[in-house]
């Protein structure tokens, strides 16, 4: 590789650091070695209701990066840190969701990097940018780019930054020398994440049974939460950080990017259970919580109230029995019964 291209790679990484990315590496465009595991996971229906993962087009594109960008010659993989895993609230929200929506924050920064590269080379280059938004197996790409290893809880872990960061990728029609793959597994015999998971959704092959994962249940699942799993959800109302909280590597978590500093007023108030559609949209306009939609957010709140066993929630749960959403009414009835039947 010429010194010019090697210099470009270092300049790109420096630009990424200036934009807040704490990790940056380059992977080749080879098909992912873990694709077979992904296919087996889909075939076992571990993805639950996330049907967007299982289409023929999705499978084809995940199997080969060049199905996404024919001209792909390099993949730049980046990490941007979110809020460390500490919060005091009667109802818990995953730390990544306390600030602005990363889907709004990260893409403009990726475009700035693309613009920088094109300025350096003097011409447009084919590219595709993603952050949890495209049909790619991004954790394998991140490991190949030297950013970390895939832990037992399926999260990418870096020994200097833990796992509290978003991943993002830029597929590039320019050849950059790939970084050395992160070959070491630092999980060892530790099983804290596996033992900490209340729903036991972490599988031995470093994947998850999404159908049992609290993050899936509170965000992706749009219908009734299975009654047998509701008591295991505790006070989580959007996402879950339990496996990451248990991971000893997260004592090294990097400070959050300013965009992800908490903006949602905490603690969550029981009055949220009476939010109108307009009020919900206003409260969570720039928040990832809007992904659960109002009906899902209110459903999750009722479950957390039921799990609390707190009788002071009964009046607001009684109000929820009159909700315009049948989903909320059903879960509110469950929650009231649970509170009243507590021992």
The gap from C-alpha 93 to its chain's centroid, in whole angstroms, comes to: 13
Return d(Cα 57, Cα 49) in angstroms, integer: 17
* Cross-strand bridge partners of residue 166: 80
Contacts for 330-333: CB closer than 8 Å, 24+ residues apart: 330/224, 331/224, 331/225, 331/230, 331/299, 331/302, 331/303, 331/306, 332/302
- Tokens describing residue 22: 């704490």
Catalytic-role residue among 43, 104, 132, 310: 132
Would you tell me the crossing angle of helices 3-18 and 102-121 to the nearest 10 degrees? Answer: 150
Residues 6+ apart with CB under 8 A from 296: 218, 219, 221, 222, 327
| 132 is an active site residue | yes
**CA within 13 Å, CB half, 141:** 30
Closest by CA to 334, choosing from 292, 324, 240, 313, is 313
How far is it, in rounded angstroms, from Cα 219 to Cα 227?
16
Catalytic residues: 132
């Amino acid at each position: 590789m010429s010194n010019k291209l090697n210099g470009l790679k270092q300049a790109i990484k420096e630009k990424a650091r200036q934009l807040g990315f704490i990790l940056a590496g380059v992977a080749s465009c080879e098909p992912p070695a873990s694709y077979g595991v992904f296919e087996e996971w889909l075939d076992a229906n571990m993805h639950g209701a996330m049907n967007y993962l299982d289409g023929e087009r999705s499978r084809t594109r995940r199997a080969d990066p060049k199905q996404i960008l024919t001209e792909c010659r390099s993949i730049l993989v980046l990490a941007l840190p979110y809020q460390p895993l500490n919060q005091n609230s009667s109802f818990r929200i995953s730390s990544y969701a306390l600030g602005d929506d990363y889907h709004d924050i990260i893409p403009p920064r990726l475009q700035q990097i693309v613009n920088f590269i094109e300025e350096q080379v003097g011409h447009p280059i084919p590219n595709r940018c993603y952050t949890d938004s495209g049909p790619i197996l991004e954790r394998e790409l991140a490991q190949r780019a030297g950013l970390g290893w895939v832990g037992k809880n399926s999260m990418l872990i870096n020994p200097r930054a833990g796992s509290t960061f978003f991943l993002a990728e830029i597929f590039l029609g320019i050849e950059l020398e790939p970084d050395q793959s992160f070959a070491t597994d630092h999980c060892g015999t530790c099983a804290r994440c596996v033992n900490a998971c209340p729903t036991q959704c972490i599988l031995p092959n470093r994947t998850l049974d999404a159908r049992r994962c609290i993050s899936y249940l509170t965000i992706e699942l749009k219908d009734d939460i299975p009654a047998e799993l509701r008591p295991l959800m505790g006070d989580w109302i959007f996402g879950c950080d339990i496996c990451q909280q248990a991971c000893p590597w997260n004592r090294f978590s990097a400070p959050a990017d300013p965009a992800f500093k908490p903006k949602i007023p905490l603690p969550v108030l029981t009055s949220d259970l009476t939010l109108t559609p307009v009020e919900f949209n206003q409260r969570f306009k720039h928040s990832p919580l809007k992904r659960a939609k109002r009906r899902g957010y209110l459903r999750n709140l009722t479950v957390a109230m039921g799990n609390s066993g707190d009788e002071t929630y009964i009046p607001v749960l009684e109000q929820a029995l009159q909700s315009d959403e049948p989903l909320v009414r059903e879960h509110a009835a469950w929650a009231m019964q649970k509170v009243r039947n507590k021992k």
